[in-house]
Amino acid sequence: MIAVENINVGQQVGFGIIALMMIVGAIRVVTNKNVVHAALWLVVVLAGAAAQYLLLAAEFVAVTQVLVYIGAVMVLFLFGTMLTRSKVGNDENLDNRNGAMIGIPVALLLLGTLTYGLLKTYKAERLPLKNTPFNIQQLSDSIFSHYLLPFWALSFVLLAAVIGAIVLARRD
């Protein structure tokens, strides 16, 4: 690996540090007994993902990650937690003891599938080191031409979620 030319050392080091941070964060999410602390560790993991996108010069994706996951999803999550249980401190029932039996195999399966998929698809292909200036226009062009159908499908998922929320909240 070291002998490979065209390797961006700074990027690799950055990746390593952020990945380590994300792993620690992810472990703390599941082991923490305090539900708000667990949520904050999850914020660390999500922010780490955004930082990884930044390292790949995909700033639009990074900002979207922060806006959607940290700015909306986690805020709503914390908001819900505050409304329902305002207790500061640890919650002994938070740990799901039998969870490891299911959780670890599922995690390994996911890792295996992702690794297999990535290696199979891209083989030895790498991102070009000489990064061309990233352009949001190019991104939007490809979303609204090549990937229009997945984009629509995604919108329908969101629509279904909205309708589901209304159905749950309605009382009549």
Partner 1 sequence: MLAADPLFFRGLSLAVVVIVIVKVLIVFVVGLVATMFMVWFERKIISGMQNRVGPNKAGPWGLLQTLADGIKLFFKEDLVPERADSFVFKLAPFLAFVPAFLVWCVIPLGGDFSNGRGGLVTIAGHRTLVQLADPPIGILLVLMLSSIAVYGIMLAGWSSGSKYPLLGSVRASAQMVSYEAALGLSIGSVLLVAGTLSTNGIVIAQNTISRWHIIATGVVPFVIFVIAGTAELNRPPFDLVEAESELVSGFNTEYSSLRFALFYLAEFMNTVTMSAIIVTLFLGGPQPITIGDTTLNLHLGPFSGTVWFLLKLFIFLYMYVWLRATLPRLRYDQLMNLGWKVLIPIALGWFMLLAALRVARDEGWNRVVVGVVCAVVLAFSYLLLTAAVRTSSKNREKEGAMF
Residues lying near partner 1 in the complex (CB under 8 A):
34, 36-37, 40, 43, 59-60, 63-64, 66-67, 70-72, 75-76, 78-79, 82-83, 86, 88-89, 133-137, 171-172
Measured from the CB atom, the residue of 21 and 70 that comes closer to partner 1 is 70
d(CA 136, CA 58): 9
Minimum distance, C-beta of residue 95 to partner 1, in the bound complex (Å): 19
Angstrom distance (rounded) from CA 82 to CA 75: 10
Q: Shortest Cβ distance from residue 28 to partner 1 (Å)?
A: 13
- Long-range contacts of residues 7-10, Cβ cutoff 8 Å, at least 24 apart: 7/129, 8/129
**Smallest distance from partner 1 to CB 112, Å:** 34
> Nearest distance from residue 93's CB to partner 1, in Å?
19
Nearest to 16 by CA among 6, 3, 7: 7
8 A C-beta contact, residue 39 and residue 78: yes
Q: Which is nearer to partner 1, 37 or 126 (CB)?
A: 37
Of the pair 59, 95, the CB lying nearest partner 1 is at: 59
Q: Please, are residues 29 and 45 in contact by the beta-carbon 8 Å criterion?
A: yes
**Closer of 60 and 152 to partner 1 (Cβ):** 60
